[in-house]
Structure 1
Amino acid sequence: MGARTHTRAVTTTSRTLTLPDGRVLRAHASDAPPDAPVVVWHHGTPQSGALLEPVLAAARPRGLRVVSYARPSYGGSSPAPGRDVASAAGDVAAVLDAFDVPRAAHVGASGGGPHALACAALLPDRTTAVVSIAGLAPFDPDFDWAAGMASDAALRAASAGRGARARVDDDGVAGFVDADWHVLDGPWAALGADAGPAGAAWPDGAVDDDVAYASPWGFSPRDVRAPVLLVHGGLDGVVPSTHSRRLLGLLPDAQLWERPHDGHVSVLRALPVALDWLIDTLGD
């Protein structure tokens, strides 16, 4: 089942996939030549999983094809209560198969970062490289996970289980800085236009995401053998940059770009140069 739309000369294809366990996933891909390198975009919390114009705009001139999907309970994908971060790998493998993609790079923003790393750890033969932008590190008693967060109520509740998290109402914007609002009013307006309705329409997606972040992930970042680029804003009050520094110490092959004047959303302005890094990695 598919539908085709046009986004500024980029044709996109959307499909509803039925998985062996009976769940469905809603997936999307931009059209490109058969030999175009593929980037899987892992959306943040909450979002619909649809392809966003700023992502397409960064990928288009670089000859990249973008694939995305809605995690369970978002954007037409079936719920999967109790899912862990690692479960993304099986879902993404099905998405790649549906679009005839043998290997891909993974780019995750915010909550998409852990899911991108899961694919690298658990689909090593199908992963070329990873970019994590403002991504989370694993919940670990040896790491002060909540330090620097403007509001940690939702994630702290999530560590106590799904029921506790469901009782917390958190709009997720307490840690935004002026630079974040500026890009949401400008080049990344599509992100805000997607995230607001997604949070209202699919609150269970955000609950299950948060529980997955604050629970054992089902893999270790030490299992990721692909090269990883970590990008983080120094003013990020949603997911502080200490998370990327923590990941830097856990990942076998990683580098960190810190952007001191960026917050949680404005750091997405680094996406074009991060994609350049991916392309350079493919040439190594």
Structure 2
Amino acid sequence: MVARTVEAPGGRALAVEVSGDQQGSPVFLLHGTPGSRVGPAPRSSVLSRMGVRLISFDRPGYGDSDRLPGRRVAEAAADVLAIADGLGLAEFAVAGRSGGGPHALACAALLPERVSRVAALVSLAPRNAEGLDWYGGMTPSNVREYHHAERGLLRIEDAFQLRSRVIKRDPVRLIKDLVPELPPTDRTVVTDPGIRRMLLSTYRQAFRYGAFGWIDDVLAFTTDWGFRVEDIRVPVRLWHGADDQFSPVDHSRWLADNIPGAELYLEPGAAHFGAFEEITSTLKWLAG
């Protein structure tokens, strides 16, 4: 595993980690919300056997990456491009899980000559998605957060900063807070010792310097993304657990209907955190 810092547009620093086969097929894995570059992923030895060179990074405002105030989802494409250029990658694939899904789709839309394939697992759809009840089937805590975010930064900043300080001291707290709203299948996933360790690591890293990565993600999801998913022309694979209530399954259904040629895989009996168990097969598809 190799850690490094890459300069993004505007001179910002992005914290990057590369694992797996250093000569393998390059695949970016964009973390969830909240999250960081050390989030759930296959072990480096597994990636090496698969021939995958996995690249992850802290989105702006998370972990060791500089904040980009007011960023839109589209900005992720420029950051991924800066990292790819820094690593000397002519072509690469991109995966995004949960909050990373919209950012992966930004790469599909805005970097068609560099991106070979894109996968989005349990992704949200755009807030202005025509014909989609965006809040339909969503867990009450997420509905509250996004409703507040739609009223602007000042409505959520203090609450998110307070929560981030609590979670930084005790990362288990975030998992405990989520459990009452989780379906049984997700409770089983987050109580797995390996998954739990990775979640604790990613939350600790995410909130090293505060909650602005989390805040800026939520604000970006509830405003214009800066691109149209209808313009995507690279191969896209969508995966969603049918019982997901954090990112309701109708979001991926809408994406499948509006992204030309997108393939949608709905897994009965799985929910939001079932995406962790799907990452390995997704990376195999992305690596071709």
Shorter-chain TM-score: what band?
0.7 to 0.9
Query: What percentage of aligned pairs have identical amino acids?
Result: 34
1:185 and 2:191 matched: yes
Contact 1:157-1:168 at 8 Å conserved across structures: no
Q: Identify the structure with bigger relative contact order (alpha carbons < 8 Å, sequence gap 6+).
A: 2
User: Normalized against structure 2, the TM-score is what?
Assistant: 0.86
Shifted more, 179-188 versus 226-235: the winner is 179-188
Aligned to 1:68: 56
Contact 2:69-2:216 at 8 Å conserved across structures: yes
CA–CA separation in structure 1 for the residues paired with 2:285 and 2:212: 35
CA–CA separation in structure 2 for the residues paired with 1:125 and 1:239: 29
Aligned to 1:3: none
Shift of 1:242: 0.6
Contact 2:240-2:266 at 8 Å conserved across structures: yes
Shift of 1:248: 0.5
Aligned to 2:283: 275
Shift of 1:270: 1.6
CA–CA separation in structure 1 for the residues paired with 2:191 and 2:60: 28
SS at match of 1:188: helix
1:123 and 2:111 matched: yes
Aligned to 2:252: 244
Please give the per-residue CA displacement for 1:223-272, whole angstroms capped at 9, x wherever unaligned: 21111111001111111101100100110121111112111112321222
The one-letter code of the counterpart of 2:137 is G
Contact 1:26-1:69 at 8 Å conserved across structures: yes
Shifted more, 180-189 versus 155-164: the winner is 180-189
User: Normalized against structure 1, the TM-score is what?
Assistant: 0.87
Q: 122, 128, 131: which is aligned to 1:140?
A: 128
Aligned to 2:153: 162
Q: How many residues align?
A: 268
The one-letter code of the counterpart of 2:201 is D
Shift of 1:177: 2.1
Contact 2:96-2:104 at 8 Å conserved across structures: yes
Please give the per-residue CA displacement for 1:190-219, whole angstroms capped at 9, x wherever unaligned: 432134324543311111000001110000
Aligned to 1:253: 261
The one-letter code of the counterpart of 1:158 is A
Contact 2:95-2:101 at 8 Å conserved across structures: yes
CA–CA separation in structure 2 for the residues paired with 1:55 and 1:228: 25
Alignment of 1:76-87 (within 5 A): 76-87=64-75
The one-letter code of the counterpart of 1:163 is L
Shift of 1:102: 1.3
SS at match of 1:235: coil
Structure ranking higher in helix proportion: 2
Contact 1:28-1:51 at 8 Å conserved across structures: no
Contact 1:148-1:240 at 8 Å conserved across structures: yes
Shift of 1:33: 4.6
Shifted more, 198-207 versus 232-241: the winner is 198-207
CA–CA separation in structure 1 for the residues paired with 2:113 and 2:187: 39
Contact 2:125-2:252 at 8 Å conserved across structures: yes
CA 199–20 in structure 1, closer or farther in 2 if over 3 Å, else same: closer
CA 54–193 in structure 1, closer or farther in 2 if over 3 Å, else same: farther
Aligned to 1:90: 78
CA–CA separation in structure 1 for the residues paired with 2:41 and 2:281: 17
CA–CA separation in structure 1 for the residues paired with 2:148 and 2:43: 32
The one-letter code of the counterpart of 1:14 is A
1:207 and 2:215 matched: yes
Aligned to 2:13: 24
Aligned to 2:203: 196
- Unaligned runs of 5+ residues in structure 2 are 164-173
Shift of 1:189: 2.3
